[in-house]
């Protein structure tokens, strides 16, 4: 089994998710937003699956550092997508594809004991 993890390497949530996956003997393919960018087609899928409110991390330091005009771009899907592509650190992390399921912000991949 292998999971694909999208995020940035210094993010504590990404680190927790990767550690949890590895503890459960799951291989990890890591896609670093900083090095490889954000896959635009996948970003569309994430926005459709989770909605803008969940994909845009409005609690992080990158978001808080944006001026109000840039933050207001995130009100529309088109503006939000452009902003997320330009500032990938404002994407809620981690985004994980595992066993046919897509999750965002999930860090615990322990197997259910039942």
Active site amino acids:
11
Query: Which residues have a Cβ under 8 Å from the Cβ of 110 and sit 6 or more positions away?
Result: 20, 23, 24
According to DSSP, the residues that pair with 15 across neighbouring strands are: none
């Amino acid at each position: 089994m292998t999971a694909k993890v999208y995020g940035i390497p210094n993010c504590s949530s990404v680190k927790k998710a990767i550690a949890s996956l590895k503890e459960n003997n799951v291989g990890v393919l890591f896609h670093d937003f900083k090095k490889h960018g954000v896959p635009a087609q996948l970003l569309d899928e994430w926005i459709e699956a989770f909605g803008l409110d969940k994909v845009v991390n409005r609690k992080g330091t990158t978001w808080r550092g944006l001026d109000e005009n840039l933050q207001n771009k995130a009100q529309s899907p088109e503006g939000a997508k452009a902003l997320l592509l330009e500032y990938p650190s404002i994407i809620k992390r981690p985004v994980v594809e595992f066993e046919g399921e897509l999750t965002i912000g999930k860090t615990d991949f322990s197997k259910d004991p039942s």
